[in-house]
């Protein structure tokens, strides 16, 4: 009996490992031609989708992932590669608001407030990418984040019929970002399961026309 259970355990471990490997590699292979490091060569798009993250770490220091994404988004705008920046992030509590915080820092970097749109319902990357088309009507976007994150977002965009490219924000050192990179492995598995299960964003809502922005647009999520 013990041998039987051991065989089942090893069988499950093998297929779990295989699923993790395939989930990771399929993202790497299918998105590598859509990533850009050079701001001079990246094609232009009307909207850049800036993926949210927290500004500070638990120890109170500035999150480098955040810092580099803000710099990348501002650089794209100043280079004329995007006209608007759609910030999509978590607004889970009154004390935690990724879109507002990122908006404030983009304005400090010289991006006009009327060119910034906020999506408070970007609770995870899947939601942010899907909502960019379902709510904000964008069939073509430039995603802005670190390379590992961009790849997953591009994969989601591809299978949601969004013509997306991505601009890579500066990487964070392996030591600094080890936990984040480890989480990415399992995030890609979760993403594949989302497609297999037909998962939808946590919130949708009324459509927003970004072209008609005349002031900062705060988009509240609705059921």
Q: What tens digit of pLDDT does each residue of 21-54 get?
A: 676 677 777 788 999 999 999 999 999 999 999 9
139-161 mean pLDDT = 95
107 vs 212 pLDDT, higher one: 107
Q: What single-letter DSSP state applies at residue 199?
A: -
What is the pLDDT at residue 138?
A: 96
Yes or no: say if 88 and 49 are a contact pair by the CB < 8 Å rule: yes
C-alpha closest to that of 77 among 69, 87, 85: 85
Position 15 pLDDT exceeds 90: no
Q: Could you tell me the residue range of the domain that residue 72 belongs to? A: 6-219
Q: Please give the sequence-ordered ranges of beta strands (E in DSSP) within 66-108, or none if there are none.
A: 82-88
Position 159 pLDDT exceeds 80: yes
pLDDT classification of 144: cutoffs 50, 70, 90: very high
HSE at residue 107, side-chain half, CA atoms within 13 A, is 12
Structure tokens at 22: 């395939």
Q: Please give the sequence-ordered ranges of beta strands (E in DSSP) within 53-109, or none if there are none.
A: 82-88
C-alpha closest to that of 218 among 54, 84, 48, 103: 103
What is the pLDDT at residue 217?
A: 41
193 vs 7 pLDDT, higher one: 193
Question: Residue 73's domain is classified under what CATH number?
Answer: 3.40.50.620
Has residue 129 been placed in a domain? yes
Question: Model-level pTM?
Answer: 0.83
pLDDT classification of 19: cutoffs 50, 70, 90: low
Question: How far, in Å, are 13, 73, 165 from residue 152 at the CA level?
Answer: 24, 18, 12
124 vs 213 pLDDT, higher one: 124
Domain count, the chain: 1
Position 97 pLDDT exceeds 50: yes
Phi, psi values for residue 168, rounded to 5°: -80, 115
Has residue 75 been placed in a domain? yes
Has residue 79 been placed in a domain? yes
Count CB-CB contacts under 10 A for residue 133: 18
Has residue 1 been placed in a domain? no
């Amino acid at each position: 009996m013990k041998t039987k259970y051991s065989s089942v355990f090893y069988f499950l471990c093998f297929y779990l490992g295989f699923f993790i490997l395939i989930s990771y590699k399929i993202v790497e292979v299918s998105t590598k031609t859509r990533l850009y490091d050079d701001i001079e060569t990246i094609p232009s798009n009307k909207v850049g989708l800036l993926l949210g993250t927290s500004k500070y770490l638990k120890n109170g220091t500035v999150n480098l992932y955040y810092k580099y994404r803000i710099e990348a988004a501002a650089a794209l705008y100043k280079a004329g590669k995007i006209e608007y920046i759609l910030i999509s992030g978590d607004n889970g509590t009154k004390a935690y608001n990724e879109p507002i915080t990122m908006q404030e820092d983009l304005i400090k970097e010289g991006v006009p407030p009327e060119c910034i749109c906020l999506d408070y319902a970007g609770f995870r990357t899947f939601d942010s990418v899907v909502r960019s088309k379902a709510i904000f009507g964008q069939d073509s976007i430039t995603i802005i984040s670190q390379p590992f994150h961009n790849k997953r977002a591009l994969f989601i965009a591809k299978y949601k019929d969004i013509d997306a490219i991505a601009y890579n924000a500066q990487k964070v050192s392996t030591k600094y970002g080890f936990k984040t990179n480890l989480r990415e492995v399992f995030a890609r598995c979760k993403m594949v399961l989302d497609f297999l299960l037909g998962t939808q964003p946590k919130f949708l809502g009324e459509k927003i026309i970004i072209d008609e922005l005349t002031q900062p647009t705060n988009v509240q999520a609705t059921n």
